[in-house]
Amino acid sequence: MKETKGPTKSEWPMRINKYLAHKNYATRRGADTLISAGKVFLNGKKATLGDQVNENDEVTLKDFKAADYVYYAYYKPSDVVTLSATQNEKSIGDVVEFPEKVFPLGRLDKDSEGLLIMTNDGRLTDKLLNPANDHEKEYYVEVDRPITHEFLVKMSQKIDIGIHVTKKSKVRRADKNSFDIILSEGKNRQIRRMCGVLGFGVKKLKRFRIMNIALGKLKPNQFRKLSTRELSALFKSIGLS
């Protein structure tokens, strides 16, 4: 298993669950489960929750079996809530049933549609969603009136959307009322807020790519397993392989 970039000297000592997460064995919560099950040893002795690991310590695992992780590309329809649906709303679990218990990596707002990665692998959450990592996500956006060259230029620059000043983005015209945009961050309703600042309303917003994972031929509410090639490229780009 390929390790992520090692801890800096200032991080030692570190809690043993953080150490195991650094080594990509599990999330911190998953590491606590392994420790509680007596499968983790620190310098030859059974580890306990809260143990501190120093740089030269030896940490080993006994009877460790990697989790059976699954990864799906899913086309979320509009009017479906990614997380925390209210009584009058539909969540992903209300409209589709996956073979395993999975959760979405990130979200799309209720009015938006398109690609979500669904998985049971919690190791991906911060690696994929942390805005400091600059992972690309690409969207198709249809607005309520013809777009101009000036609009496209301004959309590509930093924009103060009230809750945040956006990073620069990559924008290209699709037709007279629509464009594609590539973001490396994902603030709440960011594209809608960006358009609103420039006086445009969004009629349709569809995400069709997350890094190397593309929506492809999926239709609303369909899903497919990610291929070995897709996973290999994804894991390599986030330092998890």
- Over residues 25-50, the pLDDT tens digits come to 777 888 898 899 999 999 999 999 99
- Token pair listed for 90: 């539909």
Asked whether the beta carbons of 32 and 18 are under 8 A apart, the reply is no
Asked whether the beta carbons of 240 and 24 are under 8 A apart, the reply is yes
Asked whether the beta carbons of 142 and 204 are under 8 A apart, the reply is yes
Asked whether the beta carbons of 107 and 83 are under 8 A apart, the reply is yes
Strands annotated E in the chain: 14-15, 40-42, 45-46, 52-53, 59-61, 71-76, 80-81, 90-91, 103-105, 113-119, 137-143, 170-175, 178-183, 202-210, 213-214, 223-225
Determine the pLDDT at residue 65.
Answer: 67
Task: Give the N- to C-terminal CA distance of the chain in Å, as an integer.
Answer: 6
- Token pair listed for 42: 């620190």
Return the SS3 of 187: coil
Is 32 among the catalytic positions?
no
Determine the pLDDT at residue 8.
Answer: 64
Asked whether the beta carbons of 2 and 24 are under 8 A apart, the reply is yes
Question: Which of 4, 49, 42, 34 minimizes the C-alpha distance to 22?
Answer: 4
- C-alpha–C-alpha distance, residues 144 and 199, integer Å: 10
Indicate which residue of 57, 109, 111, 180 is catalytic. 109
Determine the pLDDT at residue 134.
Answer: 84
pTM: 0.78
Each residue's pLDDT, cut to its tens digit, for the chain (241 residues) gives: 333 445 666 689 999 999 988 887 777 888 898 899 999 999 999 999 999 999 899 999 988 766 688 999 999 999 999 988 888 899 999 999 999 999 999 999 999 999 999 999 988 988 888 877 889 999 999 999 999 999 999 999 999 999 999 999 999 999 999 999 999 998 889 999 999 999 999 999 999 999 999 999 999 999 999 999 999 999 999 887 6
Determine the pLDDT at residue 52.
Answer: 95
